[in-house]
Structures are given as structure tokens and as C-alpha cells.
Amino acid sequence: MDNINEEKPRLILREHDIIENNSRISTVFDNQFDVKSFKKKFQIVIVRHDQTDMEFDLIGIHPSLVNCFRRLILSEVQTMAIDKVHVLNNTSIMQDEILAHRLGLIPLKADPRLFETKCDSKAAPDEKDTLEFELKIKCSNNKDSSKKESSRAEDMYKNSNVYSKHIKWVPIGGQKSKFKENEVGPIHSDILITKMRPGHELDLKLFAFKSNGKDHAKFSPVATVFYRLLPDIRLVKPVEGEAALRLQKCFSPGVITVKKDGDKQYAVLNENQARYDMSSRNVFRYEDLIDSVVMSKVHDHFIFTIESVGALPPEAIFREAVTILKDKCSSLLTELSSIM
């Protein structure tokens, strides 16, 4: 507890309250903002990255800015989604508007950076701002005799399930040379759209436009994006024997490991897993464990996680968001100087 007071500002989680480790040192909330010191203190560390998911640390930044990035990603980074459906024929049991809504929610692979936002919603589809698709499918009896005995709908009928893979891309103008079908179509081929029976038929034209999450959640580029403060857990006293197992159970899996040394066993903190602890204060239920653990959260260290839907890679989403904020501010600044 003594050395923790001298370190970076952090919040210590106690049994019933939260205290600052040292109220005399200044935090991000107290410091006067200036760009130079921000540039010096601010750090980004990438922890995990793959095609759709990304986790990185934003260190030394004000929470309002982190939240600003999160909000921008959720509702202002643009993607393509089906927005208009022309129903030429629909004899399935699903009503046109429900069907259109379901189609809208299907995520598309199309890279939104290669398209423009459609300004006039009444204008004819253009290759720069619209993707056209077609869904033409008819259900019929399956004549294949080998499946005669079966009573499964998939065997008795053809096309009884309509999946996103049945959506066909219709290139407009020069799009055919610019894109391939798997670069613009649905990301997942097995999304069930509706079910049909013999005689039911769908004939639809689908139009995808570019917009953002403010307009409709289907345009949001992420499944979720969130941040949390970095938990810092310290074992300040050795915990041995049965207590070690109890201690392990108080934290998220992997945070505490119990090591065996002969017939003795003792608890060890797993440093690189500690960041994933959910920070429940279960330890404080045990009188004998209270003094052996210090749980805290670092004031200005954020674990930022982006889970992309798949149209944009997560790093591109973050870059887009920051660029949107930058552009927004500079356009406001020019306007400000023009009116003052």
C-alpha cells in the first residue's frame, strides 16, 4: 500500500468505497490541457489484433476524449447497408416491410471508403454511391427420389430456406471491373432471411447506400466498441494453503494461479491476465484475505476494444473516427473565423 501511493494516480477499490491513492498528485482531470505535454504523455499500445477484433491501450488521455472516439465509431463512421428494397413479387408469408428490414440488417463486405454518400435520395442509382443486388428465388417440391422417405423440409422442398448467399450482386456501370462479387456482397453466406414452401416466390431488387449509425444502427461499422480502466491487482502478503484456492476463485479465471511447492501451495498473480479481471470485490468477503490484496484502477489508462462487423478492419475504423473528429473541428474553426 505504501509504494502504490507514490505511483501514477490510481483509484483503490476498497470494500465499500473507492479512494484515490494519493490525492495530492494531479490527474488528467486537474492538469491544464496543453498539446506539448499531451504529446509527451500520450501512448498507444496495441495488445491484440486480427481481422475483426482489436484491443489497444490509450494511456495518458482524458476520458472525455476516449468516450468521444467511442461515440464517433458507433454512430459516425460510415458503412454500406441495404436501404431500399423494390418488391416485384413476394408471395412468401413474410410481409414486405419485415423482409426489407431484415435485408437491411445484413452486413455487407463493401469497403465504404470506395463509395460516396448519396446526396439526393430520389436520384437514379449511380455507380459511385449505390450497390445493387437481386434476390430472385422460388420454392418448389423436391423431385429427387432418393430423399422421398425424408420428412425434413430441406429434403422435401427446394429453396425452402432463403439465405444471404442467394443475394446476387448486379454491377452498375463500371463497377464490374472495379469490384468482385465477394468484395461487395454479404459478409456471411448463411444468414437466414426467410422460410418458404412450394409456390412461394421472392423477386426483389435491393439497393445499398452509404450512411452512418446516427441514421440507422445497421450502418454502424462495429458489433460493439467499448473501453474500460486498466485494473491493477497486487498481492501484498503471501497467501498459502486453502486460502490460495479461495483467493483464486475471487477473481476472473486466469488472474490468480495456485502454484504447488512440495506439499505447500501458494497464490501467484498472473501479470498479463490481470488486465482482464472484471474487478469484482469478492475478496473482501473473506476477513483473512482483505489485507493480502490491493485492487486498483489506473486513472488514465484505458483498454479500448473494437469489434468490427467485417466491412472495415478495426484499425481503419479507429482511423476513420479520429479523422471525422479532425475534419469536424477544422470546418467549425473556419466557420468560427468567418463569423467573428
Q: Which is nearer to another protein, 200 or 301 (CB)?
A: 301
**Rounded to whole angstroms, how far apart are CA atoms 295 and 118?**
51
Q: Which is nearer to another protein, 38 or 276 (CB)?
A: 38
**Are the C-beta atoms of residues 101 and 336 closer than 8 Å to each other?**
no
**Are the C-beta atoms of residues 200 and 139 closer than 8 Å to each other?**
yes
Q: Could you say which residues in the range 70-99 bind another protein, by CB under 8 A?
A: 71-72, 75-76
**Rounded to whole angstroms, how far apart are CA atoms 11 and 231?**
9
Output the smallest distance, CB 11 to another protein, in A. 18
Output the smallest distance, CB 245 to another protein, in A. 34
Question: Does residue 326 bind another protein (CB under 8 A)?
Answer: yes
Output the smallest distance, CB 35 to another protein, in A. 5
Q: Could you say which residues in the range 126-155 bind another protein, by CB under 8 A?
A: none
Indicate the angle between helix axes 314-339 and 63-75, nearest 10 degrees: 100
Question: Does residue 216 bind another protein (CB under 8 A)?
Answer: no
With the C-alpha atoms ordered 207, 212, 213, 214, is the resulting torsion angle positive or negative? negative
Question: Does residue 319 bind another protein (CB under 8 A)?
Answer: yes
**Rounded to whole angstroms, how far apart are CA atoms 129 and 125?**
7
Q: Which is nearer to another protein, 43 or 282 (CB)?
A: 43
**Rounded to whole angstroms, how far apart are CA atoms 261 and 277?**
26
Output the smallest distance, CB 298 to another protein, in A. 18
**Rounded to whole angstroms, how far apart are CA atoms 168 and 184?**
10
Question: Does residue 336 bind another protein (CB under 8 A)?
Answer: yes
Output the smallest distance, CB 44 to another protein, in A. 5
Contacts for 8 with CB less than 8 Å, ≥ 6 apart: 298, 299, 300, 301
**Are the C-beta atoms of residues 317 and 231 closer than 8 Å to each other?**
no
Rg (C-alpha) for the chain, rounded Å, is: 28
Question: Does residue 38 bind another protein (CB under 8 A)?
Answer: yes
Output the smallest distance, CB 41 to another protein, in A. 11
Binding letters toward another protein, positions 17-36, x by CB under 8 A: --------------xxxxx-
Q: How many residues of this chain bind another protein (CB under 8 A)?
A: 42
Q: Which is nearer to another protein, 67 or 150 (CB)?
A: 67
Window contacting another protein (CB under 8 A); options: 43-51, 85-93, 256-264, 288-296: 43-51
Residue with cell 472484471: 278
Q: Which is nearer to another protein, 34 or 149 (CB)?
A: 34
**Rounded to whole angstroms, how far apart are CA atoms 249 and 48?**
26
Furthest CA-CA distance within the chain: 83
The closest of 65, 205, 221, 49 to 134, measured between CA atoms, is: 205
Question: Does residue 119 bind another protein (CB under 8 A)?
Answer: no
- Residues interacting with another protein, by CB under 8 A? 31-35, 38-39, 42-46, 49, 56, 62-65, 67-68, 71-72, 75-76, 315, 318-319, 322-323, 325-326, 328-333, 335-337, 339-340
